[in-house]
Amino acid sequence: MAHVCPWWFTYSFDNVLRRWLCHPERELADHVSEGDRILDIGCGFGFHSEALSRLLGPEGELVLLDVQQQMLDRAYRRCTRHADHAKVSTVLQSADEMEPRGPFDFILMYWVLHEIEDHAALWANLRGQLGSDGAVLVAEPNMHVGRRRFDAELDVAREAGFEVCDTPGACISHTAVARHPGVPGAPPE
């Protein structure tokens, strides 16, 4: 059974040190355009959600999904506290059981994949949520998830038909971008 990070533990990593080390707007800017629709899976306290909300602007739409209401409440407040934030909504649900809410231009899974129970169901589900040319950015904490485990996680995405490539730049993390060639508009196989 996968271990879910308790909401109160988030204070141990979503803190001043992380804000000093990591720059979410810089990490995400290449993946987001104003007005996009984005899904942030396992948003936690919204460390990246806030950056997404700024990058999307008022024409954009951000859906926050988490299995803990405490996470959604904090992330929502964080995303909507500045002017020109995106339209933000919250969903209390497990990502591997998510009902159809797409199409999304971009899906973020930051430090959450190792907590999700059924990876095959998850990737099958994400395939249906992605819009044309949509991409999924996966980041796993490299102090907690080793390289071999990350590679095994990505193999499940490949088995579900995703094309996966490493991508540089995320703070203290392994990162990869996954696209599905079956999605209209994605590059041909």
Tell me which residue of 179, 172, 178, 176 sits closest to 24, measured CA to CA.
172
Among 71, 136, 170, 178, binds ligand SAM (CB under 6 A): 71
Among 28, 42, 162, 176, binds ligand SAM (CB under 6 A): 42
Say how far apart CA 10 and CA 4 lie, in whole Å.
11
Within 8 A by CB and 6+ apart from 62, the residues are: 37, 38, 40, 49, 52, 53, 56, 79, 86, 87, 88, 89
Is 4 a binding residue for ligand SAM by CB under 6 A? The answer is yes
* Closer of 14 and 105 to ligand SAM (Cβ): 14
Q: How many residues bind ligand SAM (CB under 6 A)?
A: 22
Is 110 a binding residue for ligand SAM by CB under 6 A? The answer is yes
* Closer of 8 and 168 to ligand SAM (Cβ): 8
Say how far apart CA 1 and CA 153 lie, in whole Å.
16
What's the closest the beta carbon of residue 148 comes to ligand SAM, in angstroms?
20
What's the closest the beta carbon of residue 173 comes to ligand SAM, in angstroms?
9
Site of tokens 């000093």? 20
| Span of 35-43, 81-89, 149-157, 181-189 interacting with ligand SAM by CB under 6 A | 35-43
Asked if 166 contacts 159 with a C-beta cutoff of 8 angstroms, the reply is no
